[in-house]
Structure 1
Amino acid sequence: MTYVGRRGVAACGVWTATNGQVVLAIIWMEVEGQYGLSQQLIGHSKGVRCVCVLPDGRLLSGGQDGLVILWAKEEETGKFKVQKQLEHHTNFVYAVCASAIHDPLTFYTGGYDKRIFRLSADGDPFMQFEGHQGPVCSLLENGKALFSGSWDGTAKVWSLETGACDLTLSGHTHAVSLNVLVNGEVVTGSQDKCLRFWKNGHCHKVVTDAHEDIIRGICVFSSGVLTCSNDGVVKLWTLEGEEMKQIPAHSSYIYDVKASLNERPDGLPSHFYSVSDDRSLKVWEPDNSDPSQVLMHAKTVFQVAVLPNSDVLTACEDGVLRLWTKEEKRYAPAEERAAQSEQAEQAAVELQQKGAEAIDAANLPDASMAPTMRGIRIGQTKLFKEGNSAVVYQWNGQGWDKLGEVVGKAPGQEGNTPPMLGGKRQYEGDRYFEAGEYDYVFDVEIGEGSGYKKLPYRRGENPLLVAEKFCVRENIGKSAVDQVAGFIRQNTGQGTPLQQQYAQGGGGGAAPKAAPSAPAAPKAAAPTAPGGAKSKHFPIHDILTFQFQAAKVIDPLFKKLKELDAELPEGTEYKLDANDHIYFQEMIARFKNPNFLKQEFRRCEMHIIFEKFIRWEASKAFPVMDLWRIMALHPKSADLHKASDDGWQYIAHALFVMKQDINGPGCMLGCRYLSNLFVNPTNKSVMIRRCPQVLDALSDLAGSTNKNVRAGAATVLVNYAVSFRDSHKEGTLDDRLQLLSLGAEFLQNENDPESCYRLFAALGTLLLSPAEGFGESLLESAKALEVGAAVAKAASTCGADARVQEAARDLQGILK
């Protein structure tokens, strides 16, 4: 937060004092021309990771939601608005940059999916640069070549004409940041703490230990270089790599540093800007070791960009881009500025209170040592030990002033914070985590049969960034990042401890098991039925799914989809265009991948599958239903059912297709789609809420002459029964009665043993559900509906199938 006066600004530090009150340590600094909030740009649904300014004045941002957004300024209001959302990446977007060639205007994006795209001014991808083995985190183009840095420990130089990789600059470890000097030399930095200077592909200078931790950002201006690091320090270098100055700038990791576009006569920038995990943007003058302004945010600030008019843009973990200006007439309304400041202040207080809980006073310097320790800058705060307590002191320029005691639990004390048994832990290192000491090394289970994987973590690291690296290393999809980050927070004293394991799959549960093309026979326990009868067939405990064999299914399926699309007249709104065909081909590889459930599908691909194909006429919809059936198994399908209308349009469309021909393949595949919707908890909840409509539509299928259709419909009934059994809160008594009635109706004309057995399984599971007020009503209704007679008739019709006869006897026993 920032308090602006006529001639100065007050920057605050927040601490919890002994009496429980929050202490604000206010430092007043003489400054001129203060930045104020001008606009908050809202368009990303998750954290914004990167931002740049295009030559035509538009803004470009990339985020953890996988989106790249173009922002254009409205002439009337002078405010930036979303011009276009681009969905060409399959995962987090880590880097964006403009081309130095302005005619025609193009720009570049790179991210977690290891790909770099070049796009036209309208946002159409027309070139890809592929070759990195890890996420792309740094991009720059100087009009002659494209330069990229990656988590794979390399930087690459690419041809702008062909997209080929001309040079690979190796030698670093882990994520590589880069920039290019005016003379064409490349400057790189990474987790190995070194700066490297490259000329024509050869490293001619290495600055070892340029920083004490990971080098995050490199900025070049006409006479020098700025770097920032996890060590909280910004450094100023000559173009030859000689250190000129260092500034202890932030209390946590610094993610980016940028120089102003205005330079002084001595060649130094008039100002530079740094952003950090400490949630702040700081404005600096090269000759001053104290910031001229501190602008607080509610969460981590990942990147900063400087506009030609000296406005500054920040990209924040809360999903908001914020534009800051020195022109008071362009300040946001006072209410909006006050709300933003209050939000940042509250976040700072909450963060400090959480931080207090993890302080171990035993590791702090004794307060008696304070007179011998000199502060780095006025206003710096430092913790000392007094007895068994942690106490906050602040440097006044000549000595340390005591602010108060920090209250909270130290690790290992009462409460839920896990103890630090044995102190630091050694980790041997890998491609993404350096070797050395860590505060925690977790054993994380990423899936059945995959064993445990090591997850190293140091206190103070951003859990989200650590989770991202872990998921890249283990080839886990981005849907798992938030869960892994939550696991870290919970198990490092930032929340309630969780069981130290992580099961990959939708909703944190186990991923659906592999199964044959048709659903496996239901498995049941042997509970005691009413009246003391025993059943080995009911209740069913697991959802039944229709899986697929990629080697046999995918190529013919996509070939058919392509043929049907080709038949659509030119100009048809939902006919695939040139970009769609590119996305279409890329989708095929994801569907054929053995790790299909871990593949990331872009919004543009989901748009083709569910928004374009839904508009095909029902007679051509059977391959669409097959594609939907497969996609229902994937965690990404849940996104369709999180909107206010809960995605009912897709289920309703499937029911419409099924009704057009109850004996056709579209109906059979529609049933399989509905069955697979029960796999994901979000989709299942929608199916339960819409139970009356779904069962009402399924009643038309009782007269189908296609046994595969009837088996599919019976599987939907089984899954409803299993879901109702899982929780008495799922569905109503009326839903259960409707299911009971429909099951009995299907049995009246059933002569296929497989369909018959599934119907018995649905009814048996429903009737053996925990009572919770439903049991007696269901049994009485079953007798009134003469379900016993329907069971007997179906059993006799299906002949001597032993499994059917056994299940029929068990079901009759329940009904007595």
Structure 2
Amino acid sequence: MASSNSYKLRCSIPAHEMDVRGVAAAVFPEGAFVSVSRDRTGRVWVPNSSSDKGFTEMHCMSGHSNFISCVCIIAPSETYPRGLIATGGNDNNICVFSLDRPQPLFTLKGHKNTVCTLSSGKFGTLLSGSWDTTAKVWLNEKCMMTLQGHTAAVWAVVILPEQGLMLSGSADKTIKLWKAGRCEKTFTGHEDCVRGLAVISNTEFFSCSNDASIRRWLVTGECVEVYYSHTNFIYSLAVFPNSQDFISTGEDRTLRIWRKGECSQTIRLPAQSVWCCCILPNGDIVVGASDGIIRVFTEAEDRMASAEDLQIFENELSKATIDPKTGDLGDIKLEDLPGREHLNEPGNRDGQTRLIKDGQKVEAYQWSVSDDRWMKIGDVVGGSNQQTSKSVMYEGKEYDYVFTIDVNEGGPSMKLPYNVTDDPWLTAHNFLQKNDLSPMFLDQVANFIIENTKGHVVGPAQPGGGDPFTGEFQKIGTAAGFFVLIKRNNEIKKKKCKCLGLALYINNNFICIKVCFHLPLTAKLKELNGGAPQEHKLSEEILESLERLLLSVSGPSSSEPPPTIQQINLLWKASHWPEDIVFPILDIMRLAVRHPQVNESLCGEAEGVQLCNHLLNLMRPEGRPANQMLALRTLCNCFSGRHGRALLMGQRETVLSRAADLATVCNKNIHIALATLVLNYAGCLHHQPDLEAKAQCLSVASRALETVQDKEAVFRLLVALGTTVASDQTAQDLARSLGVSSQISKYSSVSDPSKVGECCQLLLKELQ
């Protein structure tokens, strides 16, 4: 097929009634793509016959109650061989469509503000980003984890093709790399909101920003190149298949094609905001803009528009009006501009702009290398060009209007952001409340909004969403898993699991760390008490009471009477000894919580949270290793009683999150205790349908395996993974999408001890 090596218009599609905010190449039919718009619809477009360069609407999708902000394609599966379409909107929802029906198959709810970016990965994984400052991972219609760490709206997300890595870009100017739900790295360098991300390979990606730059990064953290050419916000990026060349679009009205690191072609459009772009399998480029029109560009001569249609497009471009204050033309002074004769001189590069005076008018021209001439791209005017585009930025979020309000004469001015879909009275109320102003101004502010928006109303009021920087959000974990667990004399035994037809490592109960050296422990306690500061010294009566408690809980055959409430209270009080000497008390507590009466007393509804918080404080990463280990062991042993299990399941998020931080501590005993804790959680969750909790178990176990070296700890973590995914297809799918198989495969050949290699091989088989 002949190629001009320069892109020209293939067709213009008057596709939507409002801004086109997202486009994506479809898997089926061949050559098709999907568009979404602020008009609340998504549309599938299929190419016409070869003699007709245009596209026809296959069908229209609806399901959102407000603007649609983004779209992505979910890869084909056995259930949906043509793939699925996911759309995110200002109603905070994600709708998932098939290609053969206009209504969504299902709707994903969970974000607390606009869903503005989507990306799909292997095994049906979907990643979403929102103004609520979070990204979420979805699988099989469930939210599996929430990625928290950004302090502003998450404008861009992508899933890297391998290793279970995910990226998010935010209005807080940073990009974060996530693995198994944990932020592994934060990339800094952009000077404004990060608006788009695009994958180059397993190890590299692009980002674009409101700072008008594009950056190329290694996933290891280095920015290896910065590209400049745009003169305003850059909204979207797309990479050519099997290439490092890419395209970009932005608020400077342009589509730019980048070859070998240079901007090789600039195509201006007769619309202020060029919101989105994608590349079709044949290399054609699709862009959507604020005028509701989709334009397709091609470098194949046999698909280019007719000379007549090309002239129509050029005429539309020449009639555009350009406000110099928007920065579309760069930093250009309007004084002393040359006349039309300046156009007789050729340009230096494709996309170069020149302003010339023609009488009382100022006109803008752009140099086209392919046509070897200057093309008029519009008239420069003094006032702002009226657009329907939502392109006013305030604190990293888009608004139709941002007003400056002076409520009190002589007082400071305040900013009032407003979208035409908002209720002016609710907006006024929130503005007054936020700025601690009297409600008496409600009518005045609401009427100001109504008057200055000329009564524009494009739909019902948007539900009261929070600011993209301060909106509330919940914390969710992530991860993967498989075996079942059963204790036999404190050992994990291999047992046949008929339901799976596999030999699994099983633990029916919970692993407790029972070993006790009674005499050395009491001797150490007395030694430390002797040297303790006077205000912390324990009386002989208290020491004797703690020793009797230790004897009564040291083993099931103890002849000592059961612990008394007084002894338990003394143990709790003594556990607040100074951190440098408290470890023998913690060791007694670790043994004591296995006893039913102590478990009920310390882990009960009223006291349990205090115990949990105390142990978590001792587990601080900067704390003492002995205290960290014993606090972990105490939590493990809490699982021996129903009150302890209820406490730890209720505090799961916080406990596992703090415990995971100790994986980086170089201490074998800490790692074994950590692995045992995760193992007990996995056993507790095995017969429960709580996917969110299983996701966190998977996350902590898989993350710990990155640093843990001790083979017993590795074995217990592998069993925790197996217990979590056993008999749970959704958990298995999530484990696959997080790259658990590649992470643990190194243990499949371990022969000393053999249980590690055997356990790993069974888990890998389960995750095939």
Which category describes the TM-score, using the shorter chain as reference length? Answer: 0.3 to 0.5
Normalising by structure 1, we get a TM-score of: 0.43
Return the structure number with greater relative CO, CA threshold 8 A, min gap 6. Answer: 2
